[in-house]
Amino acid sequence: MAKVIAIDGPSGAGKSSVSKLVGKALGFLHVDSGALYRIMTWQVLVKNVNPEDPEAVAAFAPTVTIECRPENGAIAYYVDGEAPGERIRLPEINAHASQVATVKAVRDKVTDLLRGMTQYGDLVVEGRDITTAVFPDSPARFYLTASAEARARRRQKEEVEKGIANQTAEAVKASLLARDAIDSTRKYAPLRKADGAIEIDSSDLTLDEVVALVLEKVHEAFG
């Protein structure tokens, strides 16, 4: 049976950087579940489905085919043979992803894809409902958090470095808090700290310190 490390938390808590390094250290494939919700949102917008209409999004969801395959230490995604790249990180996707992710048909589709990935090997999966709904039985579950200010700072730096947007820290913080609110109050699989998950506040920790902490707990969990 494949081992799964599950890491949840709000936007900008450092899940991606931590998960990638933990995956690399252990030889586990990195799985970005948020990218799957972003791909669904991208497709909703490209195909002119109204992202604010849950019934239309639910009807559209099964028509999207996402191919998943292991590549360079991670699971890579393709839609009609095309890699989505950075276009799924644009502010217009940020603005609608949380709404699209409230739709049960979308969540069911992404959950099935994620569970199917264990066929490729051991995984480190990051998201919002991995510890509570997708892999609730994993012995290595983490809730990674940080202050809203720290999270906004990191996200803004990332956007500028990647050249995908040039928003102020205030605008990034507002968008991030709006998504947090939707993610943590939605009906299906809301973001919350799972019972038994290890909580790490990364506000005042370096990336290396968080990774070391996670690795220590993972070794304890898997023996």
Residues that bind ligand DC (CB under 6 A): 11, 33-34, 37-38, 97-98, 101, 127-130, 179, 183
In the complex with ligand DC, the residue whose CB is nearer, 34 or 211, is 34
Shortest distance, CB of residue 215 to ligand DC, whole angstroms? 22
In the complex with ligand DC, the residue whose CB is nearer, 31 or 211, is 31
DSSP per position, the chain: ---EEEEE--TTSSHHHHHHHHHHHHTPEEEEHHHHHHHHHHHHHHTT--TT-HHHHHHHGGG--EEEEEETTEEEEEETTB--GGGGGSHHHHHHHHHHTT-HHHHHHHHHHHHHGGGGS-EEEEESSIIIIISTT-SEEEEEE--HHHHHHHHHHHHHHHTS----HHHHHHHHHHHHHHHHH-SSS---PPTTPEEEE-TTS-HHHHHHHHHHHHHHHH-
In the complex with ligand DC, the residue whose CB is nearer, 11 or 167, is 11
In the complex with ligand DC, the residue whose CB is nearer, 199 or 216, is 199
Shortest distance, CB of residue 37 to ligand DC, whole angstroms? 3
Shortest distance, CB of residue 48 to ligand DC, whole angstroms? 21
Shortest distance, CB of residue 223 to ligand DC, whole angstroms? 27
Shortest distance, CB of residue 98 to ligand DC, whole angstroms? 4
In the complex with ligand DC, the residue whose CB is nearer, 46 or 220, is 46
